[in-house]
Amino acid sequence: MQLEVRLFATLREAAPQGAIVGVFPATLPDGGTVGELLKEIGISAEKVHMRMVNGVGVTDDYILKENDRVGLFPPVGGG
């Protein structure tokens, strides 16, 4: 299945070459999960604070569907 991945903030460093502002296509077998996507794109689950699919917060066991938009956000610091 085809997906759109959007990496935010420091996670953009993991985007493949040619990605525009951390946005790139990814392919997973049907029935793939967010956790499997993280492994496929080489991002440790511990580095991701929030996972969103089509604007809704999800967990690593969420089963993705064709053309889902996956947003991955790192922890935010500051103060």
Give 22-45 pLDDT, tens digit per residue.
Answer: 999 999 999 999 999 999 999 999
Instruction: Please give the single-letter amino acid code of residue 56.
Output: V
CA-based end-to-end distance of the chain: 40
The verdict on residue 48 lying in a domain is yes
Q: CATH number for the domain including 42?
A: 3.10.20.30
The verdict on residue 78 lying in a domain is no
The verdict on residue 43 lying in a domain is yes
Claim: this prediction has a pTM higher than 0.75 = yes
The verdict on residue 79 lying in a domain is no
The verdict on residue 63 lying in a domain is yes
Domain count, the chain: 1
The verdict on residue 65 lying in a domain is yes
Structure token digits, residue 17: 């070459």
Structure token digits, residue 8: 């935010």
What is the span of the domain harbouring residue 7?
2-73
pLDDT at 62 over 90: yes
Structure token digits, residue 10: 């420091």
The verdict on residue 67 lying in a domain is yes
Asked if 3 contacts 27 with a C-beta cutoff of 8 angstroms, the reply is yes
